[in-house]
Every structure is written in C-alpha cells, then in structure tokens.
Structure 1
Amino acid sequence: MSLEENRLDLSRIIFIGRTFEEYMAMFGLSEEELQGRTVLDCPGGACAFTARANALGVQVVSADIAYGYPIRALKEKGLEDIRHAMDQMEKARTGFNWEYFSSVEELREHRERALQECTADMARYPERYVPAVLPVLPFDDGRFDLTLSAHFLFMYGDRLDYDFHLKTLRELLRVTRKELRIYPLVGLSGERYAQMDDLLNHIREEGCTAEEVQVPYEFQKGTGRMLRILKG
C-alpha cells in the first residue's frame, strides 16, 4: 500500500488522536524538555499535542496526509472513527492494559477531547498543520530540534514495506536537527517490528545513535517502549 493511494480518499484515512498527556507519557517527555525547542509531530493525526504545546510556548508544527481536507470533514471523520474504534475495543479488551484508562468510556472521552482540541486549533492556527505525504516532507533540512512520530512506523509493518520504513525514517531524520523519537515499536499484533535491527543498522551506519527506551505508557500490550535516535 502506498500513502499516495490515500491522498484523495478520506475514507481510507484514520483520523484518531491522543491527548497531550498521553504524548508526554508515550515519549517520556517533560514540559521542561520541550521549552526552547522546535518540534515536529509527524504524522500528527487528530492529536492535541500541537495545540497544547504551543499554548505552553513551545514551537510545534504537525504534519499529516489528512490536513489537506476541510476541518469539518476531518471532525466528522474523527467522530466516526472513534465510534468504530470503541466498538472494536469492546471485543478486544484483553489485548490492552486498563490502568491508564479505567474503561472504554473513559478512553472515548480522551479520544473525543483530543479531536476537539486538535480541530479547534486547526481552525485558529491553520499554519501549524501542514499537509504531507510520507516519505516526503515539505521542510528544510534540520528544521526541527525534536521530531515525534507516533502510531505509524512499525505499527503497519505488515502493510508498509521495509523500503518505505527506511525512506520515511531517513526523511524524518533529514528535517530533524537533534533527536527523533518513535512510539511504539510493535505492530498491531503486539509483536516487535520484524526488521527493526536491519533498520537500525542502516541508521547507525549513517552516523546516528539509537536506543530503545522504556516509557510510562502502555495501553496496547507490548507498547511500553519507544525508539530514541540522536543525530551525530
């Protein structure tokens, strides 16, 4: 599957996001770490991170294939996707840790809050939300101090091939001056991305250092680690 196939078909794009608090836990971040840094969230989806971080004075830009669509359509799609996801969640409860969220209803509230914060911020500050189709980003080399990438690479290892993963990883690093963090390291089945070691060998040969780091967030079982890559 190529992301180009999704460019003109909103029905094939999932528009669900996480709250600011989830992002901070997923990436092991503190507000102090963010201060004074330029940050890219890619793909940003319906996440509230860009809205809340900018409100704290952090310079954050979000990029996603979905941002080429009207905000009203994205909000409607987001609500539809949340309903579908919650219906599926009832059938798959055993694959998740119910500590961060105590119930499916609480999870729904978080997803709807993230969507509301994201779309409201998009309407007020559209320049923060940049349409982009990976593995190509419309930013200069080293544009951001820190890049965050959640629930995309590795999650779809059964659909997006190794070449796509490598090209996307290189592109994320191209626009990053210092550090890239990716979460999680497993696919939808909960298994670690099968070609992770090959991918990391490529990146290390190109002068980066990489480590897998335990983080204080694991909703889907097996997702409690992120990848932290530092540019040499």
Structure 2
Amino acid sequence: MSRVEQSTKLDLEKIVFIGRTYEEYLDMFSLSVEELRGKRILDCPAGACSFTAMGQKNGLDVTACDIAYDHAGEELENKGLQDIEHAMEHMKKAEKNYIWDYFKDIDGLRRYRLSALEECSNDMRNFSERYVPVTLPSMPFKDEEFDVLLSAHFLFMYADRLDYPFHIETINELLRVSKEEIRIFPLVDLEGKRYRHLDKLLDYLTNNGCSVEEIKVSYEFQVNANSMLKIKKGL
C-alpha cells in the first residue's frame, strides 16, 4: 500500500474547501508565467484553488495535492459552495481585519472564490490525475520530482494547531520533492501575527544548506499577510 492509501481519510466536514484564483497565486508568490514555463510545479496544499487548472491552460505543468482530494469531486464542489457562503457571512463580521484593495468588497471576494472553485472542480472532473491526495507531512512523490513548489495559506497560518516539529517535518518533505525552490505564503498566523518560530526555522534551513529570503509581495488581503518565504535549495 502507498502512504496515501494507508492514511486515514479526513471527515469532509472538517475540511474547509476554499481556494484562490490563478491571478492571486501569481501576485501572492510574485511570479510570472514566463519564469514558470518549462518547469514542473507542485501546489501543496492546493484546496479549491484554480492555479492548476488555469496554469495548464496557460502552458504550465502544474500538479495539485491536498488531503481533500481523497473525496469525490462532486462532494468537494458542494462542500466548497457551502464553505464560501459560510466564509462570506464571517467576513461581514470581520471586515476590519482585511484590506479591500484587491477585491473591493465582499461581493467581489465571493466572485473570486466561486471562480476558483468552478475552475478547480471542472478541471478535477476532466483531469483527475492532476489532483493527488496527500496527508502531510508525507508525500507520495519521488525525490526532486518538481522544480518549484508553492504552498499557500496553510503552514504558518495554523500555527495554533500545527506545531514546530510538524513545520520542520513538512518543509523537509517539501524540500525532498522539490529540485529548485519552495515559496510559502503568508508568514503570519490567523491573527495576522508573524509566525513566532520563523527566525528559528530560517536558521534551521540556512544551517542545512538552503538560502532563504523573506520577500514583500503586492498581494495583501489579510492585514499583515503580505510577505512570502523563498527557499532555494543548495547546489
């Protein structure tokens, strides 16, 4: 059995299936299509993001992985629709914690989230092989299988429930399957505070032969969530 087959399937009700758009990814990770062409890219965890679907349409080689992909696409799409409406209700109560330059208002945000879900769901139906179920920190990929790995809205955001050893294990696994670099966004927790073990993590990566850089990006929705971590593997 593979590591994926051995993993315990997460209850769908415990999964929040919401995603960002392709355009958001380019802004969050300060990327251009030109620099990604010809590279194998992994989005982990990808959720309901449309980066894989739209990336492929734009000539990129993208694979998505997420614990949610253990569930059928129709289940996920229905869950995504519910989660988007739930999130919009929450946004009405917490608007001051966000910067509305990118989306303008809650209706604009809803359109982006629905667009991402629709593109992702359609692509999953037609190209299911691009969507690989994983249970971090283990991944069913070969060493250096991907050139670039992107990880958004997961690791440091949930620092209240994912401890430092989990972060180290997961990043070591991301390093194993990536050949060139990893980009992680954002560097803050759900309260908008800088991940408290980030300096310790940067020292760990540097001591293990990686070059690391905190980079300000043009994308900021959650207050203070406007930086990414760029990790380049040692040559």
Report the TM range for the smaller structure's normalisation. Answer: over 0.9
Equivalence for 2:181: 179
**Unmatched segments (≥5 aa) in structure 2:** 1-5
Aligned equivalent of 1:199, options 191, 198, 201:
201
- The CA deviation at 1:7 is 2.5
Equivalence for 2:46: 44
Paired residues, number: 229
- Check whether the contact 1:6–1:13 (CA below 8 A) recurs between aligned residues: no
Q: In structure 2, the residue corresponding to 1:78 is in which secondary structure? A: helix
**Unmatched segments (≥5 aa) in structure 1:** none
- Check whether the contact 2:10–2:67 (CA below 8 A) recurs between aligned residues: no
1:39-188 paired onto structure 2 within 5 Å: 39-188=41-190
Residues in 2 aligned to 1:82 and 1:135: alpha-carbon distance in whole angstroms: 27
- The CA deviation at 1:99 is 0.2
Q: TM-score, structure 2 length as denominator?
A: 0.96
Aligned equivalent of 2:26, options 24, 27, 41:
24
Residues in 1 aligned to 2:10 and 2:210: alpha-carbon distance in whole angstroms: 35
- The CA deviation at 1:204 is 1.2
Residues in 1 aligned to 2:203 and 2:7: alpha-carbon distance in whole angstroms: 30
- The CA deviation at 1:200 is 1.3
Q: In structure 1, the residue corresponding to 2:165 is in which secondary structure? A: helix
Residues in 2 aligned to 1:188 and 1:106: alpha-carbon distance in whole angstroms: 22
- The CA deviation at 1:223 is 0.5
Residues in 2 aligned to 1:6 and 1:140: alpha-carbon distance in whole angstroms: 22
- Check whether the contact 2:41–2:149 (CA below 8 A) recurs between aligned residues: yes
- Check whether the contact 1:6–1:12 (CA below 8 A) recurs between aligned residues: no
- Check whether the contact 1:210–1:230 (CA below 8 A) recurs between aligned residues: yes
Q: What amino acid is aligned across from residue 116 of structure 1 in structure 2?
A: E
Runs ≥4 in structure 1, deviation > 3 angstroms? none
Equivalence for 2:10: 8
Q: In structure 2, the residue corresponding to 1:145 is in which secondary structure? A: strand
- Check whether the contact 1:48–1:117 (CA below 8 A) recurs between aligned residues: yes
Q: In structure 2, the residue corresponding to 1:228 is in which secondary structure? A: strand
- Check whether the contact 2:55–2:62 (CA below 8 A) recurs between aligned residues: yes
Identity over the aligned pairs, expressed in percent? Answer: 53
Q: In structure 1, the residue corresponding to 2:151 is in which secondary structure? A: strand
Partner deviation per Cα, 1:200-223 (whole Å, 9 max, x = no partner): 111111110101001110000100
Q: What amino acid is aligned across from residue 54 of structure 1 in structure 2?
A: Q
